[in-house]
Amino acid sequence: MIGAMTIDAVVDVGEVPPTTRPSTAGPLERLAVWRPTDTVRGWVVTLTVTLIGGLVRFWNLDWPTDRGTPVFDEKYYAVEAWQMLRNGGYEDDVGAGWTFIVHPPVGKYLIAIGEWLFGYDGWGWRFSSAIAGAVCVFLIVRIGRRLTRSTMLGALAGVFLICDGVSHVQSRTALLDIFVALFVLIAFACLLVDRDLVRGRLAVAVTEGWVDVSPWGPRLGFRWWRFAAGVSLGLACGVKWNGLYYVAAFGLLSVIWDALARRAAGVERPWMGTLMRDLLPALWGLLVIPVVVYFGTWWAWFGSETAYDRHITDSAFQSLLGYEADVLHFHENLLSSNHTHYWESKPWTWPMGLRPMLYYIEQPACGALRCVQAEMLVGTPAMWWLAFPVIGWSLWRAFVKFDWRHAAVMVGYLAGLLPWFVNIDRQMFFFYVTPMAPFLVLGLVLACGDILGRARAGAERRGTGLLVVAIYTGLVVANFVWLWPILNGDPISAAQWQAELWLPSWR
């Protein structure tokens, strides 16, 4: 079918890079979407890797706790979710241990599902986070496979995400950021499918001869996958407001993809065509829909009489806007200069994970000696310490070789990093990087695909590339296994605890 062409030669490596195609290629070749042909194997591999990821995420999920109570900021979200469960979906300030609620409700709804199923304990308040972590593994395999057109590289993406310390700990903790990562990944996956379908529609228009009905090109019709991306972005904002960064980034990415697709189809004025044909639908799908979904997530708050700040004005909607204005003021004034937190960090330290976070530590007696039980949020160094080379390589591939895949991944990665530089004095923490972690994984996988080379490369070239990627994968897995005790709060000796802390800034 036009727009869904396949090629056996790229099953093991990935799509033929756009820059290797002849400049004289026709519209159909420029629009072609190359896909692996091993559909059944692709699903078997996806489900197998997801099952492994789920087992790792759920292993001993109810540990650690603070003598049966939540650890770190779980003390806010697990408790708030429990209150929402008892109240019918909203929070109030009656008998609560806090005076201000600073995040939207979606993440706490999800935590409450686990508490409803298992009760108020470690399994209950962490169950939904573990499910989200396992679904992220599923998504990253499918996204990696679609980006690289390779089942093997898709599986590698899943292995890398399983072995990422940040994703692992956040999937086992009742915090909100893993849910932001989940909805951002869903939105990214939907936009990738939308990109392929748009190019398929334009290929049909080329074949049937109506692509040039206007200098702007044809209308592309309703795009359900972009609509789904908008819904997911609205849910991301309904977890935490940093989902807004992805609304802007993915909206721009989608519009640029539309313009490039029109140009590939031979449209006379592709950029003007995108402005006239695609911009308003994009704003509707990736801005209006997220806003509508966001306000819809406050359904229980609107339907209550005793929710927090529900009646600060006579109008429910104006009350919510007033409440949100207070939340914005809170975040804008949560400054390091007012209060310094021992484990806070600044965004320039995040790519390499130079300042991780300690979530839990106890030093109980282990026989005649003292041991350490600690849970630390730390990115697996075998991956995170390569962040700057990966960023440099992807930017070079994007702007010099015009590789759209590296560009797309960098949009996702930098959308989670750059906005935090706007207010440097704000108090920030390493767990904010959780939505960035999957895009680091995708950048690494694309780099591994470049190391492997094209399937048509010689046996020696392919063999060398495969050896390098295999050795690197082994290092990632070994690094994750080494960090396992401090990612899960397992008891270790004081000497091993010191050996786990590789940098002075980890202490």
Phi, psi for residue 370 in degrees, rounded to 5:
-95, 140
Q: Is 16's pLDDT higher than 50?
A: no
Q: What percent of the chain has pLDDT over 90?
A: 81
pLDDT at 205: 92
CA distance 125 to 114: 6
**Which CA distances in Å does 189 have to 139, 193, 377?**
7, 6, 26
Angle between helices 404-415 and 243-264 (to 10 degrees): 160
Question: Does residue 9 surpass a pLDDT of 60?
Answer: no
Query: Using CA atoms, how far apart are residues 469 and 95, in angstroms rounded to an integer?
Result: 55
Q: Is the pLDDT at 8 greater than 90, yes or no?
A: no
Mean pLDDT score, 465-489: 97
For residue 76, pLDDT beyond 90: yes
- DSSP collapsed to 3 states, 276-334: HHHHHHHHHHHHHHHHHHHHHCCHHHHCCCCCCCCCCCCCHHHHHHHHHHHHHHHHHCC
pLDDT at residue 459, as a whole number? 78
What does pTM read for this prediction? Answer: 0.94
Average pLDDT over residues 119-133: 97
Q: What is the pLDDT of residues 194-217, one digit of tens each?
A: 999 999 999 999 999 899 889 999
Task: Give which of 57, 94, 268, 164 is closest to 477, Cα–Cα.
Answer: 164
What pLDDT does residue 338 have?
81
Q: In DSSP terms, which residues pair with 366 in a beta bridge?
A: 369
pLDDT surpasses 70 at 96? no
Nearest to 437 by CA among 375, 390, 396: 390
Residue 69 has what DSSP assignment? B
pLDDT band per the 50, 70, 90 thresholds, residue 95: low
Cα(442)–Cα(437) distance, rounded to whole angstroms?
9
Token readout for 381 is 């160094």
Given the structure tokens 């559909």, which residue do they identify? 39
The three-point CA angle 420-166-393 to 5° equals: 65
Coil, helix or strand for 196? helix
> Is a pLDDT exceeding 70 seen at residue 21?
no
Q: What is the pLDDT of residues 288-330, one digit of tens each?
A: 999 999 999 999 999 998 888 898 898 999 999 999 999 999 9
Model confidence band, residue 98 (pLDDT cutoffs 50, 70, 90):
low
Which is more confidently placed, 101 or 480? Answer: 480
Distance CA 430, CA 4 (A): 41
- Taking only the tens place, the pLDDT of each residue in 491-501 is 999 999 999 99
Q: Dump pLDDT digits (tens) for 249-302.
A: 999 999 999 999 999 999 999 999 999 999 999 999 999 999 999 999 999 999
Q: Cα–Cα distance between 437 and 404 in angstroms, integer?
A: 20
pLDDT digits (tens, 9 = 90+) for 424-438: 999 999 999 999 999
Question: Considering only CA atoms, which of 461, 486, 501 is closest in space to residue 13?
Answer: 461
The three-state secondary structure class of 431 is: helix
pLDDT at 351 (0 to 100): 97
The model's confidence at residue 192, banded by pLDDT at 50, 70 and 90, is: very high
SS (H, E, C) 455-468: CCCCHHHHHHHHHH
pLDDT of residue 17: 43
**CB distance 96 to 308 below 8 Å:** no
Q: At 19, which amino acid appears?
A: T
With a pLDDT cut of 70, the percent of the chain lying above it is 94
Nearest-angstrom CA–CA distance, 44 and 504: 43
Instruction: Tell me the pLDDT band of 99, cut-offs 50, 70 and 90.
Output: low
Nearest to residue 112, comparing CAs of 68, 82, 70?
Answer: 82
Q: In the block, which residue shows the tokens 């686990």?
A: 114
Which band of pLDDT confidence, cut at 50, 70 and 90, is reported for residue 7?
A: very low
Query: How would you write 380-418 as a 3-class SS string?
Result: CHHHHCCHHHHHHHHHHHHHCCCCHHHHHHHHHHHHCCH
pLDDT, greater one: 450 or 365: 450
C-alpha count within 13 angstroms, C-beta hemisphere, residue 248 = 10
243, 181 contact by CB (below 8 A): no
Q: Is the pLDDT of residue 464 over 70?
A: yes
CB atoms under 10 Å from CB of 400, counted, come to 9
pLDDT at 97: 54
User: What pLDDT is recorded for position 1?
Assistant: 30
Residue 19 carries which DSSP code? G
Note the pLDDT of residue 24. 55
CA end-to-end distance (rounded Å), the chain: 57
- Confidence check: pLDDT of 3 > 60: no
Q: How many CB atoms lie within 10 A of CB 110?
A: 23
